[in-house]
Structure 1
Amino acid sequence: MKKTLLLAGASVFLLTSCVSKKKYDDLQAQFDGVYQSKQSLSNELTKCNSDVASLQAQLEGVKNLSQSDKESVKVLENALDKCLNAQSSGSMNITKLIEQIDSSNKYIKQLINSKNKSDSLNLVLTNNLTKSLSREELKDIDVQVQKGVVFISLSDNMLYRSGSYEISPAANDVLSKIAKIIKDYPSYDVMVEGNTDNVPISRENIRNNWDLSALRASSVVQALQTKHGVDPKRMTAGGRGEYNSVATNATPAGRNKNRRTEIIILPNLDQFMELIGQAPTE
């Protein structure tokens, strides 16, 4: 099921990532609201304690009154009982609120720690990959971290011959370095996406740019598996054709940027989904 969802592209993950961020913000807002409620109840409890002291003083003052004032005493006693009951109820509510605050705090800290760990791993991964590549190779490779995901963008000039989806011999050196990084992080999934410009393809057995982009992504996945030992269960191949451009197709330079294959290294989504499922219900 997870692999089917990944076929929809990295945008699905980014949306999930945004949902997780929204959940985090909602929890922070919930924490603020609960804390304000606690403060309000604390103020009410303080006032109630003051009223109790006042009523007790009044009750002591009327104990020596005549029999005709017994009704007044009874009224004061009833008022004192109500205030004491309110005091007890307020204490119980505050205790419950404090428990909810502690639970929310613990959950928020879990999310923050998990995100910080993921960010640190991504930084190390990116640095290790960049250091392993030569200056010449870096001209055709762009490595970025966006919203907790590592994007490795490879130019088609480096990977394939023009209009082809077969991996060039020179590209295997680069793929071997990327494969080593992927294998160093076995809990991460890998999505390979092919992208083209908007110039129609004219070649037998390739119907359009959708086909070309998907075939190129599939070639990279198979090279990572068969030549460099990456577990195929961790990988997904997809094509986005000309519909995920990063530059204008009106110029040769822009079309060159759009013709690319992206290797997207994704943190383990299951861990984040488990944390979301553990969110406090109240």
Structure 2
Amino acid sequence: MRKIGLVTSLLVVLLMSSCGTKKIAELEEKNKKTQEMLDSATVKLNSCLEEKASLTSTNSALKDQNDMLRANNQELINNMGNLTTLTKKGADNLEKSLESLREKDLTIRKLNEAITRRDSVNLALVQSLKGVLGNLDDEDIEISVEKGVVFVSISDKLLFSSGSTRVTAKAKEVLGKVAKVVNNKPDFEFMVEGHTDTDPISTAAVKDNWDLSVLRATSIVRILQDDYGVDPKRMTAAGRSQYIPVADNDTREGKAKNRRTRIVVLPKIDQFYEMIEDGMKDANIN
């Protein structure tokens, strides 16, 4: 009986030992799998942490970039405002400049119109003078226009005897024709200029070429006033002596050309300005 009981106990122990070993093996296998899962999870966790750190860094960089873009955008907005102000000022300045140019252009146009009218009057005057003096020798009288002024140059051989201030009878006929034209042009003033050559002169009545040129001019003016009724207020007598020659004084021909009396016909300055003022009253200007 005791042997049977002992055997039975041994069998129970063996059975229990066998079951325990199997259980342990199962637990170890389960533990191994659990460790593998833990290792895999740890790797994934580390990867996620690294990705998070990268994303955090990227996010920080994007935030800095966004802040910079916001600042640039605000600066652009401010610059646009300044540019708008500058553009408006520029437009205002441009408009003022254009207005000034328009005014200047209009003024120039009116001046040109006044000059054109003056030139037209001068042309009519020249035609009138040539009409009454056209039968004279070209060497004795010359009519020209220079810079808006009409000149009538008459040689001394037609007007005076050598060294004399007395006007010849033929010269009076010529002066009468000139007087007829100028009397019909009351808007003109004129100056009578005496010119000489370089030959010196000294007599009881004439001291030098200055005297001779002035005395010849006054002789012409007196005849125009006394014989032909030209208003003395419109005339000026002037002597230029030998100092404005038109030819060489080394030859007889040149001296003959330099001995001359020149009538300078001038539009009254106030008349010319009135032409301009009348043009400036144009409705287009106002």
TM-score using structure 2 length: 0.68
Deviation at 1:93, TM superposition (A): 0.8
CA contact (8 A) 2:166 2:216 kept: yes
Deviation at 1:88, TM superposition (A): 1.2
Moved more, 220-229 or 266-275: 266-275
Change (3 A) 1:170 1:81: same
- Aligned to 2:205, what secondary structure does the other structure show? coil
Identical columns (%): 41
CA contact (8 A) 1:193 1:237 kept: yes
CA contact (8 A) 1:137 1:174 kept: no
CA contact (8 A) 2:187 2:271 kept: no
Query: Are 1:85 and 2:76 an aligned pair?
Result: no
Structure 2 unaligned blocks of 5 or more: 1-65, 281-286
Query: Are 1:161 and 2:153 an aligned pair?
Result: no
- Aligned pairs for 1:173-184 (under 5 A) are 173-184=173-184
- Which is greater in Rg? 2
Taking the aligned partners of 1:255 and 1:137, their CA distance within structure 2 comes to 18
Deviation at 1:203, TM superposition (A): 2.3
For residues 110-148 of structure 1, the C-alpha deviation after alignment (integer angstroms, 9 at most, x for no partner) is 221122112221111111111112423544111111111
Alignment root-mean-square deviation, CA: 2.5
- Aligned to 2:238, what secondary structure does the other structure show? strand
Aligned position for 2:189 = 189
Moved more, 80-89 or 213-222: 80-89
Aligned position for 1:101 = 101
Letter in 1 for 2:101: I
TM-score using structure 1 length: 0.69
Taking the aligned partners of 2:126 and 2:68, their CA distance within structure 1 comes to 88
CA contact (8 A) 1:154 1:261 kept: yes
- Aligned to 1:164, what secondary structure does the other structure show? coil
Deviation at 1:221, TM superposition (A): 0.8
Instruction: Report 1 or 2 for greater relative contact order, CA contacts < 8 Å, sequence distance ≥ 6.
Output: 1
Taking the aligned partners of 1:149 and 1:209, their CA distance within structure 2 comes to 26
CA contact (8 A) 1:122 1:149 kept: yes
Taking the aligned partners of 1:67 and 1:241, their CA distance within structure 2 comes to 91
Aligned position for 1:236 = 236
Taking the aligned partners of 1:139 and 1:70, their CA distance within structure 2 comes to 92
- Aligned to 2:136, what secondary structure does the other structure show? helix
For residues 176-207 of structure 1, the C-alpha deviation after alignment (integer angstroms, 9 at most, x for no partner) is 11112212222222011001111122421210
CA contact (8 A) 1:209 1:241 kept: yes
How many residues are paired up? Answer: 213
Deviation at 1:272, TM superposition (A): 5.3
Aligned position for 1:268 = 268
CA contact (8 A) 2:119 2:148 kept: yes
